Amino acid sequence: MGIDKFNHEGYSDPTTYEALTNIHREEVAADKKVTY
């Protein structure tokens, strides 16, 4: 999953980037717990 640091207008959007990065990390961690 590619998370872009810029919004659709080309401006830097660090808040959204950080939020989506944290969500992605949580999903990966949850997937690792499910996999035996």
| Residue ranges of domains in the chain | 1-31
Q: Provide the whole-model pTM.
A: 0.71
CA torsion 6→11→17→18, rounded to 10°? 150
Give the pLDDT of residue 14.
96
Instruction: Please report the pLDDT score of residue 2 as a whole number.
Output: 81
Specify the pLDDT at position 33. Answer: 83
pLDDT score, position 35: 67
- pLDDT tens-digit map of 1-36: 588 999 999 999 999 999 999 999 999 999 888 766
Q: So what's the pLDDT on residue 1? A: 54
Query: Please, are residues 12 and 6 in contact by the beta-carbon 8 Å criterion?
Result: yes
